[in-house]
């Protein structure tokens, strides 16, 4: 499943996040690269324990907690503490790779199985050329370049890359999610069912009981989640 979450960060939250990271001390992005990705990773990154990164991370985590679309799409069990990267100048690309299956965080010390990858765009797409996130999966090959504040959620098993930035600076936040429902096809089914239920529910006049069909579908959703969820 490829899920876009528009305006995860409000303009105010985005401005606060950018103010923190714009003047931060960036390091070589290979700090968190695995053996495969280290060969093709050429960007800069904020160290996980950087003061500015910690403050910006708190802004992103707060926004995730308020996003119903993120919660229903990811069904998060654990979330890797968000990281921040930068593409410009000579450090401007990340070649084709697949994310490590399991990661441990310097910040939390806990292990996270990477069922889902997330990229939160922090730069206005008109301010830089290139930098498309190219994702290959069951949905075909997709080139993603979103508005600042928008997030893209996709299976971490997908092969992906960031194309070279040829003008300007591409700033982003990225992280991984261990979902309560490991299989992408099951998460997709639950997401589609939940969206259909919400659509049907929105047509019910306020103060009126929900039709029996909506109650039954809601029961189906929760029974499927009960069967598949690992908490």
- 35-78 residue pLDDT tens: 666 688 999 999 999 999 999 999 999 999 999 999 999 999 99
Asked whether the predicted pLDDT for residue 34 surpasses 80, the reply is no
Segments of 132-180 assigned E as strands: 133-137, 140-144, 151-155, 159-162, 165-167, 170-179
Predicted local distance difference test score (pLDDT) of residue 32: 65
pTM given for the model: 0.93
CATH assignment of 3-179, among 1.10.533.10, 2.60.120.620, 3.40.50.300, 3.40.50.150: 2.60.120.620
Model pLDDT for residues 154-173, shown as the tens digit of each residue: 999 999 999 999 999 999 99
The reported pLDDT for the residue numbered 110 is: 85
Q: 168 is written with which tokens?
A: 């300007």
- Residue among 152, 26, 160, 41 at smallest CA distance from 93: 41
Q: What is the rounded average pLDDT of the residues 183-192? A: 97
Check residue 207 and give its pLDDT.
85
Residue 38 belongs to what H/E stretch?
helix 35-38
Give me the residue spans of the domains in the chain. 3-179, 184-228
- pLDDT tens column, 80-133: 999 999 999 999 999 999 999 999 988 778 899 999 999 999 999 999 999 999
Average pLDDT over every residue of 182-195: 97
The end-to-end CA distance of the chain, in Å, is 21
In the 8-state DSSP scheme, what is residue 91?
A: B
At 17, list the tokens. Answer: 């996040």
Identical fold, 3-179 and 184-228: no
Which pLDDT score is estimated for 36?
60
Tell me which of 2.40.10, 2.40.128, 2.60.40, 4.10.860 is the CATH number of domain 184-228: 4.10.860
């Amino acid at each position: 499943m490829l899920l876009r979450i528009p305006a995860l960060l409000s303009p105010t939250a985005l401005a606060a996040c950018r103010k923190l990271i714009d003047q931060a001390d960036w390091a070589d992005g290979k700090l968190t690269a695995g053996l495969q990705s280290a060969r093709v990773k050429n960007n800069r990154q904020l160290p996980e324990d950087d003061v500015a990164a910690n403050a910006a991370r708190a802004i992103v985590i707060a926004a995730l907690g308020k996003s119903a679309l993120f919660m229903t799409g990811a069904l998060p069990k654990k979330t890797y503490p968000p990281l921040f990267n930068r593409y410009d100048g000579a450090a401007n690309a990340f070649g084709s790779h697949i994310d490590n299956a399991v990661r441990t965080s310097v910040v939390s010390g806990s292990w996270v199985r990477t069922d889902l990858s997330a990229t939160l765009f922090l730069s206005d797409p008109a301010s830089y050329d290139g930098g498309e996130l190219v994702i290959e999966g069951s949905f075909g090959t997709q080139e993603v370049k979103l508005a600042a504040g928008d997030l893209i959620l996709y299976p971490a098993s997908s092969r992906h890359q960031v194309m070279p930035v040829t003008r300007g600076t591409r700033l982003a936040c990225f992280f991984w999610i261990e979902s309560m429902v490991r299989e992408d096809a099951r998460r997709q089914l639950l997401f589609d069912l939940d969206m259909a239920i919400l659509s049907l529910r929105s047509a019910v006049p306020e103060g009126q009981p929900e039709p029996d069909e909506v109650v039954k579908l809601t029961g189906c959703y929760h029974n499927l989640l009960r069967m598949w969820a690992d908490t």
